[in-house]
A and B are shown apart, each in its own frame.
Chain A
Amino acid sequence: MRTEGGTFGLGGTRGASGPAGGSGATGLGPKVGETVERFELEKAWLVDPVSGREGPGEIVVIDGILESVTWLEGAEAEGVTDKGVVVAPGFFDIHAHFREPGFEDAETVATGSAAAAHGGYTTVALMPNTQPALDEPGTLARVRSAVAASGSPVEILAYGAVSAGRGGEQLSAMGELADAGVIGYSDDGAPVKTPKLLRSALLYAGMLGLPIVEHPEDLELTAGAEAHEGYVASVMGLAGWPTAGEVSAVSRDLAVLADALGDQPGARLHLTHLSTAPALDLVRRARAAGLPVTCDVTPHHLAFTDEWIAGARRWAWDALAADGTSRDPWIDGALTAGPYNTSLRVNPPLATAADAAACLAALVDGTASAVATDHAPHTIVDKEVEFGKASNGISGIETALGVLLALVDAGKLPLARAIAALTTGPAAVMAAGGHAAGSAPARPRGLTEGAAADLVVFDRADGWKVTSDSLLSKGKNSPLIGRELPGRVLLTIAAGRLAYEDPSAGDE
C-alpha cells in the first residue's frame, strides 16, 4: 500500500496474507520479526547521515530490501517539511542494560529489544554487568540464545567485562570473548578498578582491535554520594557527588591511555555517560591532541538536572540562566512534582543546567560522538525505596528520541545532528575499534538503496504520553512518566524485518 506522511500502514508480509496473517492494527501487516514485504512512504522528510543529505523524499521497501529512495524536488517537495513524518536509519545504542542473565525481573533481552524498537533502535550494545557477568563466551552464548528466542530483529551486540567477574582484579577471557564476537570491553556500573588493570586492558584490547568502554568514576570521592554536589543537594540534605568524582577519573583514564599508546598504538578508549563540563573539556583537549578517545552523553544528562530531584520538571535548557548558571527552582516556583523521586537516582548523578549545556555543546561540536541511553531498567523493589537506597539508573531507551526532539524543537540541536548522534556517531565509535573478530556487521547503515531496510519512521507532528503502559520495557523507572514527548515512532524496521509498529498505525 502507498502511504503519505501522516497516514500510515504496512502491506502484507512474505508468506502471510489475509487477516489471519497479521497482528498490526490493520489486521493485515506483518508481525514483529517478519520480513516487511512491501512498504511505501510518500512525501516524508528523509534524513541520511551517511550521505549527509536530508530533505523531502519517498522510500519503497520490498521484501525487506530498501528498494528505492527518491529525493523530491520542486513542486513534488512542496509542503514536505522536517516537522512531520521523518525517516532515518535505525538507531544504534552503544550502552544499554537488558539485565539478562541474572536480573530478568528488571528486563530481558526480549522486553529490552521490544523497548529498543519502540525507541527507534535497531542495534543495541549490551553492558556485561549481568549475573554472572559476561566475562567468558558461555555467558555470551546465553545472551545469544535469548536473542534468538525473542524473535526480535533488533540486532544485539555485547561487551565483555574488562575484569573477571567485574572484580577488578584480573582480566576477563578477553581473547576468547573477541573470538566470540564482543565489540569491546567494559566494567560499566563501576570504573576499571585500578589504573594498572586499565593499562593492561587497553593494551590487550588494543591488540585485539577493540575499545575499552570506561565508566569514569572516582569511587573514593563518590562513596555514599546521593546527588550531584551543589546547591540542590545542599538544600535537600543529600550527600554530594563532587564534579571531581568524574573529572579525576577521566584524568586518570586519559593519562593511562596516553601511556598505553606508547606500547600499543591500537589502544582505544571510549568514555561513556560523561556528565560534567570539566570532564568534557578534558576529552575535547585530548582529542585535539590526537589521543584516540571518544565519548558519549546520555539523553538524561542533556535534558534533566539535579533540580528535578527537588521536584522541578523543566528541561535543562529552560533552567539555564542568562549568565550561564542554573536558575533557582525555589525562587522560580518551578517545583511542580514531589521531591526525592527515585527514578532520578542515576550514576553519574544529574548535574547542573550548565553541565547539561556542556553535554549539548560537546554533542554539537563533536567532542561527544554519540548519544547513548544507558538504559537501566529496575524493578519497583529496587526503586520504591528511600532515595539514598534506590538503585541507580533510568529506563531510557524508549524516550531518547523524544528527549532529543525536545532539544530540536527548542532550537538547541539541528535535527540532522540529533539523528547522527543516534546513528553514524555511535557507529563511528565502534568502527574505530577495527573489529578484529570480523563479526560486527557493516556500519553505518544509511538510507542505502539495495540494502536491507534498517530504518525508523517517526512523526514530529505527533507526540506520545510516557506511561507505565506505553513503555514496553519492564523498567518503569522513568522520570518522564506522565509526560508528553514529541515524536511518535510509527515504524521500526531492522534488517528488513518488522521491529515495531505503532498500534494506532493505519487507524484511518
Chain B
Amino acid sequence: MTTVAPAASGAGTDAVAWHHRHLIDVDVLTWPEIELIMRTTEQMKGILARPIRKVPALNGRRVTTLFYEASTRTRVSFESAARNLSADVVSVAPATSSVTKGESLVDTIRTLEALGAEILVMRHSVSGAPYLAAEIFSGHVLNGGDGWHAHPTQALLDLYTMRENVHGGDLRGKKVAIVGDILHSRVARSNIWSLTAAGADLWLCGPATLLRGFDRWAAQWSSGKVPGHGKFNVTSDIDAALRDADVVMGLRIQRERMQGGLLPSLREYAAMYQLNAERISLAKPEAIVMHPGPMNEGVEIAPDIAISGRSVILDQVANGVAVRMALLYLLAGSHDEAHTTEPGK
C-alpha cells in the first residue's frame, strides 16, 4: 500500500479510477482515492441540494443493510443514501431474523446473496467480521462499523466535514483533537488512517484506561519510518490536546466502561474531560466541534457546546448521507476479475 501525500487542494488528482470491490476500512485507500471520494461526495451534495433529491444511478440495484448492532442513525443514513440513488433497499435486523435462531454469519450472507443482495452494508460487533463477509459474498461489502476496528464511512464524512470547515479545505498541519474512549472506538481507528493520510496534526486524548495501547501505536508511527503518514500524538492531558486545535471531536462514553473498572464515574469523566466552553476556549477561535453521535450531552460534551455556532455535528449527519451515496455509487460501478456486475442478473 502506498499513500500519496495530499496534493495541494484539488490539483493533479483527476485520473483516478475506483477499483475497490469492497470498502472495509480506509487503510487500503490511497490519497488520490480519498480525493476521489471527496469529489464524488461533493457531487452527491449537489444532488441533495436539489428539490427532488433522487437520481437513478443505482436504479434496480439491490442494497441490503445487515446490522448486528442496534443503530438507528447509521442505518437510516445508509438507507437514505441508497434510496436517493434509486436502489432497492432491504433491511435485515437480527432481532427479527433467523440470526437469533443461531444462524451463522456465513449462512446469513449466503442466504442474502441467494435472495439477490448486491451491495451489503454491514454493521457487526466483532472486529474483522466484514472481511469474513467479503470472502464469501460475490457482491460488494460496505462496512458500517465493525467492533472496535473500523468505521470508514464515518471517518470519510468526518474528513469531508473538516475540509468544508477549515480554512482552504486542506488539513495539512491542522490540529485535530479526538477526545474520549479511544480504546473501544472504531471511529478513532478509522480517523487515524484518514487524518494522518491527510497530513493533519492528530491528537488522541482520554484517560489512560481508555487509551491503552495507543501510545505504542503513536510511537511506532512517529518513528519517521511510516511512508505517507503524519505522526499522531496520544495524551491524557486534555489542555495539551485542545490548545490551538482547529478541530475538536468528542467520542461517546459508554456506561459499561464503569462496570468494566475503566472509569470511576461519568461525573469524574465529565469533570476531567468534558468538552465545555472553558476547555473549548483553549482551541483556536475558529475551531469546529464534532461528534459522531449519539451524544451523551452532559457527559463527554456540554449541551451548549453541542448546539453552539462552533458545532458542525448536524453537518456531519447531512454529509454522512452524501458520503454514503458516493461510496455506494463507486462500489456499484467497480469491477474486478472476481466480480462482474451483470445488469438484470
Using CB atoms and an 8 Å cutoff, list the residues of chain A in contact with chain B. Answer: 226, 229-231, 233-240, 328, 330-331, 333, 335, 338-340, 381, 384-389
Let me know if A236 and B127 touch, CB within 8 A: yes
Let me know if A231 and B216 touch, CB within 8 A: yes
Contact residue among B128, B189, B216, B227 (Cβ-Cβ distance under 8 Å from A387)? B128
A-B contact pairs, 26 of them (CB 8 A): A226-B127, A229-B212, A230-B213, A234-B213, A236-B127, A236-B128, A236-B149, A237-B148, A237-B150, A237-B186, A238-B127, A240-B212, A328-B220, A330-B27, A331-B220, A338-B135, A339-B131, A340-B131, A384-B106, A385-B105, A386-B105, A386-B128, A386-B129, A387-B128, A388-B128, A389-B126
Q: Which of B170-194 contact A (CB under 8 A)?
A: 186, 189
CB distance from B105 to the nearest CB of A (A): 6
Let me know if A331 and B225 touch, CB within 8 A: yes
Contact residue among A231, A238, A328 (Cβ-Cβ distance under 8 Å from B225)? A328
Given contacts A238-B149, A328-B220, 14 further A-B pairs with CB under 8 A are A231-B216, A231-B217, A234-B214, A234-B217, A237-B186, A238-B128, A238-B147, A328-B225, A335-B1, A340-B127, A340-B132, A384-B104, A384-B106, A387-B126
Which residues of A sit under 8 angstroms from B212, Cβ to Cβ? 229, 240
Question: Which of A229, A230, A235, A238 has the most chain B CB atoms closer than 10 A to its own CB?
Answer: A235
Which residues of B sit under 8 angstroms from A385, Cβ to Cβ? 104-106, 132
- Write out, one digit per residue, whether chain B residues 120-162 have a CB within 8 A of any chain A CB (1) or not (0): 0000101111011001000000000011111000000000000
Please give me the residue from chain B that is nearest to A234 by CB atom: B213
Which residues of B sit under 8 angstroms from A384, Cβ to Cβ? 104, 106, 132
Which residues of A sit under 8 angstroms from B127, Cβ to Cβ? 226, 236-238, 340, 387-388
Let me know if A233 and B226 touch, CB within 8 A: no
Which residues of B sit under 8 angstroms from A387, Cβ to Cβ? 126-129, 132
Let me know if A240 and B213 touch, CB within 8 A: yes
Which residues of A sit under 8 angstroms from B126, Cβ to Cβ? 386-389
Which residues of A sit under 8 angstroms from B146, Cβ to Cβ? 237
Chain B, interface residues (CB within 8 Å), range:
20 to 34
CB distance from A88 to the nearest CB of B (A): 39
**How many angstroms from the CA of A233 to the CA of B220 in the assembled complex?**
14
Let me know if A235 and B189 touch, CB within 8 A: yes
Which residues of A sit under 8 angstroms from B131, Cβ to Cβ? 338-340
Which residues of A sit under 8 angstroms from B226, Cβ to Cβ? 328, 330-331
Please give me the residue from chain B that is nearest to A224 by CB atom: B260
Please give me the residue from chain A that is nearest to B104 by CB atom: A385
Q: What 3 A-B pairs come out closest when comparing CB atoms? A: A340-B128, A237-B149, A237-B148
Count of CB-CB pairs between chains A and B under 8 Å: 80
Let me know if B132 and A231 touch, CB within 8 A: no
Which residues of B sit under 8 angstroms from A231, Cβ to Cβ? 213, 216-217, 220
Please give me the residue from chain A that is nearest to B146 by CB atom: A237
Q: Which of B86-143 contact A (CB under 8 A)?
A: 104-106, 124, 126-129, 131-132, 135
Let me know if B132 and A237 touch, CB within 8 A: no
**How many angstroms from the CA of A387 to the CA of B213 in the assembled complex?**
20
Please give me the residue from chain B that is nearest to A229 by CB atom: B213
Please give me the residue from chain A that is nearest to B214 by CB atom: A234
Let me know if B217 and A386 touch, CB within 8 A: no
Question: Which of A237, A331, A338, A385 has the most chain B CB atoms closer than 10 A to its own CB?
Answer: A237
Please give me the residue from chain B that is nearest to A242 by CB atom: B212
CB distance from B205 to the nearest CB of A (A): 16
Let me know if A388 and B147 touch, CB within 8 A: yes
Which residues of B sit under 8 angstroms from A237, Cβ to Cβ? 127-128, 146-150, 186, 189
**How many angstroms from the CA of A229 to the CA of B216 in the assembled complex?**
11
**How many angstroms from the CA of A231 to the CA of B218 in the assembled complex?**
9
**How many angstroms from the CA of A415 to the CA of B67 in the assembled complex?**
53
**How many angstroms from the CA of A389 to the CA of B106 in the assembled complex?**
13
Please give me the residue from chain B that is nearest to A233 by CB atom: B213
**How many angstroms from the CA of A387 to the CA of B186 in the assembled complex?**
16
- Write out, one digit per residue, whether chain B residues 1-14 have a CB within 8 A of any chain A CB (1) or not (0): 10000000000000
Let me know if B216 and A230 touch, CB within 8 A: yes
Let me know if A234 and B216 touch, CB within 8 A: yes
Please give me the residue from chain B that is nearest to A240 by CB atom: B213
**How many angstroms from the CA of A235 to the CA of B196 in the assembled complex?**
14
**How many angstroms from the CA of A275 to the CA of B216 in the assembled complex?**
21
Which residues of A sit under 8 angstroms from B217, Cβ to Cβ? 231, 234-235
Which residues of A sit under 8 angstroms from B135, Cβ to Cβ? 338
Which residues of B sit under 8 angstroms from A338, Cβ to Cβ? 131, 135
Which residues of A sit under 8 angstroms from B213, Cβ to Cβ? 229-231, 233-234, 240
**How many angstroms from the CA of A237 to the CA of B125 in the assembled complex?**
11
Which residues of B sit under 8 angstroms from A226, Cβ to Cβ? 127
Let me know if A333 and B128 touch, CB within 8 A: no
Let me know if A331 and B227 touch, CB within 8 A: yes
**How many angstroms from the CA of A330 to the CA of B135 in the assembled complex?**
21
Which residues of B sit under 8 angstroms from A328, Cβ to Cβ? 220, 225-226
Q: Which of B1-42 contact A (CB under 8 A)?
A: 1, 27
Q: Which of B192-224 contact A (CB under 8 A)?
A: 212-214, 216-217, 220
**How many angstroms from the CA of A235 to the CA of B106 in the assembled complex?**
25
CB distance from B160 to the nearest CB of A (A): 23
Please give me the residue from chain B that is nearest to A386 by CB atom: B126
Known: A235-B189, A237-B189, A328-B225. A386 touches B216 (CB 8 A): no
CB distance from A202 to the nearest CB of B (A): 32
Which residues of B sit under 8 angstroms from A240, Cβ to Cβ? 212-213
CB distance from B78 to the nearest CB of A (A): 21
**How many angstroms from the CA of A358 to the CA of B247 in the assembled complex?**
44
**How many angstroms from the CA of A236 to the CA of B146 in the assembled complex?**
10
CB distance from A186 to the nearest CB of B (A): 30
